[in-house]
Chains A and B, each alone.
Chain A
């Protein structure tokens, strides 16, 4: 063994004296294998030896293909290294191995080519991460009635929870539908988090937030000189989401021209940046979300039918809160605990009157509105229980149609609506006056603390600062 060990490669030029590469990689607490161009193992670090039970001495003595050392599921399914060119991006896969103790171990394997002179890699670096600690953490973190950050115990949500793990494990495109505030973003993140791409990036793009020209550049990137102002190459969101998930929220707002481009990507997984002739092979899972009725949009010619078919491989529909009666109490308690802890308040529950109001309300803004109401109430409440008078006043008003499908842009912002209703908002007031009063009211509620006032208003601290100056408010 000594002979074998003595001729192991050394690293020159990195430190004052040359050191053994083995010693360098042995100190890294993640399994590492260095493979030659034929995928034969040339070097294993200590962590990988411990994980697989295969020794470095054997790896050095025999020409053993990596598949017999790591013995992972992807080896049988088709090793990604076989198709890798020298300039390929690393590939990360969640899989399992069987060690020498005959134990099956969940692992995450990342494989990267080592650039050679030609098109084929000179070798590969493989990292193998033991995922058992994360799995155990995940089991502990998971609660009954939840998936990721989504909570619910109603039959409608149980149905959603039952399909989400399977959806996460597949690599199909997903369409998440549901009214505003139902938790489409959380579902997308939870699917990503429970999928094999969890360690890859999760990139979110709001298709309705940018004008068409900017959106194209944002999604697909651009090459230097593609248009005036394109002074350097910029990777698009698709490229940034490589090996991960791209969540296209408000897909119904995607312009028709970009719908074609998205469709092309979904078909061949290649993106072409603006002004670039060379495509980029992006391994990206697409999840789309919308509150719009895409079928109707297809009939009206505002959404491409073929794109709908392509995205609609798996559809997850999130029910509105008014159809999840069993969940309202669960969510109220959940958010109460969360905000009481966050704001350091000793609020322990709701009074009977407050609960009657809260459970009777229809929540047009869905869970987001419920969360904001509780956040507002916890902020306002100075007692140990939230009473009816700590709730936004509009909850007590009999407002027909609040349970409708659409909600106004600020339907889920109780502070704004409550301020006008609580404080006797006069219709003849200008917006500037209303805004000034809102700021003052928030500052009073926050005890003069601007950060807290900004939270109540749903603004950034700098926005509040600017508006305080604009309105000439002499804040502390």
Chain B
């Protein structure tokens, strides 16, 4: 069964905040988790309510996002949407990690500092 995924965006990154994302990426995945289709939607006005409405309208199965308020987190869970929140990093890396099955809440997808940097 195919799966639809939504990632709120901030440029090339997963948006730090769900409620403030000005655009979202919607990805349709096949059963084997290969990307069948992806598109970016610019939202007219950033809001958590607006995104929740879009998620339900588009029949999204999973959301990868940064910070999200408990109220909207619980609402989406109740609507049987899978959520991986507090994800930090480029959206491409987040999507790749999701496809690999390695993405978890709080994942940081930026490079680690070299030892001499600290």
Contacts and interface: CB of A to CB of B under 8 A. Distances in A.
Contact of A71 (B22, B46, B66, B115): B66
Interface residues of B, number: 27
Contacts of A98: 17, 19, 67-69
B17 A62 contact: no
A344 to B, nearest CB: 50
A68 B91 CA distance: 13
Given A100-B86, A104-B69, A7 B118 contact: yes
A8 B22 CA distance: 37
Nearest to A67: B16
Contacts of B86: 100
Contacts of B110: 62-65
A68 B111 contact: no
A424 B14 CA distance: 82
Contacts of B19: 98
Contacts of A97: 67
A466 interface: no
Nearest to A66: B16
A68 B16 contact: yes
B118 A71 contact: no
Interface in B66-93: 66-70, 73, 85-86, 88
B39 interface: no
Nearest to A104: B69
Interface in A57-116: 58, 60-65, 67-68, 71, 73, 75-77, 97-104
Contacts of A3: 115
A97 B19 CA distance: 11
Contacts of B68: 98, 102
Contact of B113 (A63, A65, A71): A63
Q: A8, A64, A99: which has the most chain B beta carbons within 10 Å?
A: A64
B10 A58 contact: no
A58 B89 CA distance: 13
Chain A contact residues: over half helix, strand or loop, or mixed?
A: mixed
A126 B81 CA distance: 36
Contact of B16 (A63, A71, A103, A104): A71
B11 to A, nearest CB: 10
Nearest to B116: A7
Given A63-B111, A76-B17, A98-B67, A68 B88 contact: yes
A62 B108 contact: yes
A62 B112 contact: yes
Contacts of A23: none
A102 B111 contact: no
Contacts of B21: 76
A4 interface: yes
Nearest to A52: B67
B25 interface: no
B65 to A, nearest CB: 11
B21 to A, nearest CB: 8
A400 B39 CA distance: 77
3 pairs of A and B residues whose beta carbons are closest in the complex: A98-B67, A76-B20, A102-B70
Interface of B: 10, 13, 15-17, 19-22, 46, 66-70, 73, 85-86, 88, 106, 108, 110-113, 115, 118
11 contacts: A63-B111, A64-B108, A65-B13, A73-B20, A76-B20, A76-B21, A97-B67, A98-B17, A100-B106, A101-B70, A103-B70
Given A67-B16, A98-B69, A100-B106, 14 more contacts: A3-B115, A7-B118, A64-B110, A65-B13, A68-B13, A71-B66, A76-B10, A76-B17, A77-B20, A98-B17, A98-B68, A101-B70, A102-B68, A102-B69
Interface of A: 3-4, 7-8, 58, 60-65, 67-68, 71, 73, 75-77, 97-104
